[in-house]
Amino acid sequence: VDLESPEEMEEEIPVVICAAAGRMGATIAAISSIYSNTEANVLFYIVGLKTTIPHIRKWIENSKLKEIKFKVVEFNPMVLKGKIRQDVSRPELLQPLNFVRFYLPLLIQQHEKVIYLDDDIIVQGDIQELYDTKLAPGHAAAFSDDCDLPSTHEMVRSVGMQNTYMGFLDYRKQAIRDLGISPSTCSFNPGVIVANMTEWKHQRITKQLEKWMQRNVEENLYSSTLGGGVATSPMLIVFHGKYSTINPMWHIRHLGWSPDTRYSEHFLQEAKLLHWNGRYKPWDYPSVHTNLWETWFIPDPSGKFKLTRPDS
């Protein structure tokens, strides 16, 4: 038996991704795209609620994904009790799993550096590259800046997307004004995160995020604002001026923003990671660039999850 010496043991790359009821096909496509495009030693942390975990486990074990290394982690929504306002216009944004990214150190013990990904993404590059993102000293996380890509600026203007703090925080509220953050500050998208767990714990990021969730319940600081990003707003506050940036090609987003705004095929081919944030998801209809997503989708052996297509 050829035992690898310790220095040849590749570093494990932990990737956290959620498996939500009704969207498991997304999780599967994301995992399949990552696994197919890297030689790296990836360990998937698949986070679900007690009720959804058996389904995703079966799907993986009965498909070509059975080779992957994964751990299934149960998220207990009780940690969110009293921290979420129920008055949001898009109830899907209140899914408990949207807040998993606030609790990374609780879910993952032995890793220093962790990648968190939303489920509505696919990866076309080698995840090792994203993992190698440099975090500046004292930074607990790296995100993509919303002003980083000229090609998305046109889209932002054409469909009224939010790319500043004003789109996420209610500047009529004193607590928000007291932060001293200019409303025209560029926002970032927390759908792709490279995080340093040591710094995260040291700075008590989870506690800070919870504090803003609680304040929002009392003072309605961001729920009813345009961005609708219930999980984005606390992060914008806590990480303001304290985050590193991810290479923009590692987070091409807004593909789910409108059913008729399209990027150039050439541009999308170059992209390392595609994100269908917005309402129009590639497993539903209508949506754009579904061919790129469907390449990585693996049908549900149990038949429970089905793609919605115009002819279905």
Per-residue pLDDT reduced to its tens digit, 238-270: 999 999 999 999 999 889 988 988 889 999 999
- With a CB cutoff of 8 Å and minimum separation 6, the contacts of 1 are none
pLDDT reading at 286 higher than 80: yes
- Confidence class for position 167, pLDDT limits 50, 70, 90: confident
Does the structural domain 13-150+188-218+230-295 have CATH classification 3.30.365.10? no
CA–CA distances in Å: residue 193 to residues 13, 39, 104? 13, 21, 11
Which pLDDT does position 5 carry in this prediction? Answer: 53
What does the alpha-carbon distance between residue 13 and residue 180 come to, in Å, rounded to a whole number? Answer: 37
Structural domain boundaries in the chain: 13-150+188-218+230-295
What's the whole-model pTM score?
A: 0.93
CA–CA distances in Å: residue 310 to residues 17, 83, 131, 257, 285? 28, 39, 38, 19, 7
Stretch 7-13: mean pLDDT: 75
Amino acid of residue 59:
W
